[in-house]
């Protein structure tokens, strides 16, 4: 029985469970060959509190299988409904960090906003940039800031204004800055665990107590070679 290690738990109370998701874990809907974050979290609660029967956990947002970092699960249906509404109204603040490879002719400004339209390509099983007039187009907006640079890599902070599938990955690839390790979107670099995209900060209003909460997820070990080496800070 797979369970979450205690070190993955960022916060828990009677209404919420905030987890630092490891790479290669599927948030929900995993098959037998995959690690399910939802099932592991249920097993963690069932074991810790010696709960008989089924344990309720509501998935109110997702992280891609290869992405690491902070994600919130709801321990009650009331919390799930209220958190889902906050996501729908874009009241939840999410900040990511990414390591991206840059081409020799690509130079990013210190800060940049990307506004694109994206659609799902079922044949290639990926998202792609499209025109605003496309029947299935959805607007994708993010803001990024360069934190550090060096060795043909940039360390970026990314703030989402919309929440499209693979949004950060496809938008960064579109400006020739694919996330390190993200072969699906054109990266030629290898990354030791998953891809170099991490959900660092998650902030929202508590669904029951109504206080503002902000959680930070430590980087996984795969980031350490970059974070501990000498880089230039902009």
Judge whether 66 and 190 are in contact, CB under 8 Å.
no
Judge whether 131 and 117 are in contact, CB under 8 Å.
yes
Strands 25-26 and 35-36: parallel
Per DSSP, the three-state class of 105 is coil
- Please state the φ and ψ torsions of residue 211, each to the nearest 5 degrees: -90, 155
Report CA-CA distances (Å) from 174 to 106, 127, 168, 170.
12, 11, 10, 6
Per DSSP, the three-state class of 222 is helix
Q: How many other C-beta atoms are found inside a 10 Å radius of the C-beta of residue 50?
A: 7
**List of residues 6+ apart from 25 with CB closer than 8 A:** 34, 35, 36, 37, 40, 65
Please compute the mean of the pLDDT values over residues 210-216 and round it to a whole number.
Answer: 98
Judge whether 160 and 168 are in contact, CB under 8 Å.
yes
- Which of 27, 62, 25, 57 lies closest to 43, judged by CA? 57
**Unique residue bearing structure tokens 């997820």:** 217
Report the predicted TM-score, pTM, of the whole model to 2 decimal places: 0.91
Question: Is 70 exceeded by the pLDDT of residue 103?
Answer: no
Please compute the mean of the pLDDT values over residues 48-53 and round it to a whole number.
Answer: 88
Question: Is 80 exceeded by the pLDDT of residue 213?
Answer: yes
Question: Is 60 exceeded by the pLDDT of residue 215?
Answer: yes
Question: Is 60 exceeded by the pLDDT of residue 230?
Answer: no
Tokens standing for residue 163: 């929440």
pLDDT of residue 158: 97
The CATH code of the domain at 6-233 is 3.30.2350.10
Judge whether 72 and 128 are in contact, CB under 8 Å.
no
- Which of 71, 65, 115, 120 lies closest to 96, judged by CA? 71
């Amino acid at each position: 029985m797979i369970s979450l290690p205690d070190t993955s738990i960022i916060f828990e109370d009677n209404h919420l469970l905030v987890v630092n998701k490891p790479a290669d874990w599927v948030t929900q809907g995993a098959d037998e060959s995959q690690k399910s974050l939802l099932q592991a979290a249920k097993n963690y609660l069932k074991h810790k509190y010696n709960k008989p029967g089924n344990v309720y956990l509501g998935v109110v947002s997702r992280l891609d299988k290869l992405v690491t970092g902070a994600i919130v699960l709801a321990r009650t249906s009331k919390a799930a409904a209220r958190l889902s509404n906050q996501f729908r109204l874009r009241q939840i603040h999410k900040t990511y960090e990414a390591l991206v490879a840059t081409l020799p002719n690509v130079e990013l400004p210190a800060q940049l906003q990307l506004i694109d339209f994206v659609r799902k390509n079922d044949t290639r099983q990926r998202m792609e940039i499209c025109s605003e007039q496309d029947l299935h187009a959805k607007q994708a907006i993010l803001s990024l800031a360069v934190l550090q640079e060096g060795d043909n890599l940039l360390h970026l902070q990314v703030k989402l204004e919309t929440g499209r599938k693979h949004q950060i990955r496809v938008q960064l690839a579109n400006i020739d800055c694919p996330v390190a390790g993200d072969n699906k979107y054109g990266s030629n670099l290898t990354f030791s665990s998953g891809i170099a995209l991490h959900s660092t900060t998650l902030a929202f209003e508590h669904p029951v107590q109504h206080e503002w909460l902000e959680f930070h997820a430590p980087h996984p070990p795969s980031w350490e070679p970059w974070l501990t080496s000498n880089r230039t800070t902009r």
